[in-house]
Structure 1
Amino acid sequence: MDAHERGYFTEEDSVAVVTGRNANAKDERLREVMEVITRKLHEAVKEIEPTEAEWFEAIQFLTKTGHLCNDWRQEFILLSDVLGVSMLVDAINNRKPSGASESTVLGPFHVADAPVREMGANICLDAKGENMVVHGRILDTDGKPIEGAVIDVWQANDEGFYDVQQKGIQPDFNLRGVFRTGADGSYWFKAVKPKFYPIPDDGTVGKLLGALGRHPYRPAHLHYIIKADGFETLTTHIFDPDDPYINSDAVFGVKQSLLAEFKRTSDPERARELEFAGDFWDVEHDFVLAPAKG
């Protein structure tokens, strides 16, 4: 028996026996990862003590989840999302210095090559929904404005749908736009108030949520990707703190620092300046970029 072989499998020695067989792995990182995964998985099985029927049901769940995956749907990512793993991986890989804006998950509806728009443009192309103006500044951790920051923003409409979900109903690139800050680091654009919406819940993940007594909804939010030379790219959201699902986001994407005040505003003079017909929503939020590492 070679040194890395630990003999016969027993309940007590299961981890040592299985991980010992991996000692000659060609990739050291893979060996380390599989050692942790094996240890944690065996610990879970020993604590839960599933019946063989229960274990087969778990295998069937994973099999059905895989069958749902295709070029436009990734049910395993959805599973990672609702278990909080996606947000945990995001948090580990996006640790920020004090004062920098926090990140959150990208989401599945980002579209590359969204149109560059003039500052102050209205990203709502179909004039549907409650008018909203969004503004703020892009700053560094010393509070200085960042000139030339590129802001890629997108959102769902007032019914909770993105343009890519309603081809032929919404115009292409509706509620999307790319803006670039000037010397004062400020940004602003017009949009409509977004609405909460459900993640896809017609598959295995939706059934799991139902069995756990959980809803599939994400609270209303706007997405941002913000880039600037010399700074780390920030992928984040801002959320409506008054949304009914703000404390129970199905994918755990909400962070307290990302709550923005959505002010219902009655100001006829400003409404005329913004070319709004009446009352509107006013959202102000600054973003602070962390300096690039290395």
Structure 2
Amino acid sequence: MQQPASFWALVRSLSEGLGYTQRAPRGEPKGAGPLKTHTAKDMAHELTRQGLDPRLVLLDDKPTELGKQLEQYFIYRAQVLNDLVKPNLMDVAEAKALFDKVYARVNPPATCPIPNNKQSDEKRAPAYLTGLVNMLIYEAIGDARCNYSPSQLTTFTRQGVPLRTLARRVDGAFPSVVNPVAVWEIKEYYYTTTFGSRVADGVYETLLDGLELDELHKKEGVRAEHVLIVDARYTWWVCGKSYLCRMIDMLNMGLVSEIIFGREVEERIPVLAREWLARAAR
């Protein structure tokens, strides 16, 4: 969605002021309420409350063109989350079942790492989403070079001279962390029972990476695909719908190339990996 930065500033200000979700039912986690959409009148009241100009969205008691665009965007965002995202998010049992199915088919070699999660005791298990991503990439590209678990920062160069080095490590890079065609980040929180700052920070980390990659593309003409892969129904849908809204905003701002939710990995990762392989061969 091609919109100026001022449009996204309004999306953020209005979402923060009017709320991303309705109040959760009694006894439910904060954030469990239905997604909100906002009318131009709602937006005008909120802009007035914030000391901003309500005439941006409402003039002579009628929505302005900008007001209509914002109304449509908030409806679109809610529809995407309700119709496309929610059905694809998995719980740990569903993720394990999909992982086991793909593992049996791919039989990954040592060059395709399957890391464990960071849980202990009976919750100790493979990191299902990360394992799925790695296996599906391997199945699509075979023994082609790929860094499934970078241990250094991502750097883009020109004639051997660094142009940019990202501020933080990504979760994967193809074919390498030096001049990658694509980088990806994985956010899986199957065992999380509350939506804490660590989970929220993961979204802002992706935003930071996206801003750096966007600046690289605009200033140097160098583009790398930036893919975000997330899962855990309870964490994201029950507790963190406001952060799902922020993800959809990031996607439409062009700060991530694609967001893959839960079971979508089985269909989308092979398609993307083959595209990366073809692009790297040019």
Q: If the TM-score is normalised by the length of the shorter chain, which range does it land in?
A: under 0.3
Larger radius of gyration between Structure 1 and Structure 2: 1
Higher strand share: 1
TM norm structure 1? 0.25
Higher helix share: 2
